Amino acid sequence: MVDRNNVCKACEGTGMLADDEEWQYRCTVCKGDGHFFPGDTPEPSSLINVDENNRLLD
C-alpha cells in the first residue's frame, strides 16, 4: 500500500518531470524514486548542467 503522505508532490510519484516542450527528465526533487520523506532535502546534491534554453543535459 502506498503512503500518500510521502509521495513527491513535484512529480506526483512518477519520478519523471517534463518541461513546456515535453522533454522528460528524472525528478530533481525526489531524485527519480517518486517518494519524498521528512528530512529529505529538495536541493540537488550537485549543480545541474543545462543548455542555453535551460534544458537539462543528462
Say if residue 6 is exposed, middle or buried (CB neighbours under 10 Å; 0-12, 13-18, 19+). middle
pLDDT at residue 46, as a whole number:
76
pLDDT at residue 7, as a whole number:
93
Question: What are 27-36's pLDDT values in tens digits?
Answer: 888 988 999 8
User: pLDDT by residue for the chain (58 residues), tens digit each?
Assistant: 457 788 999 999 999 988 888 888 888 889 889 998 888 888 777 777 888 877 777 6
pLDDT at residue 16, as a whole number:
93
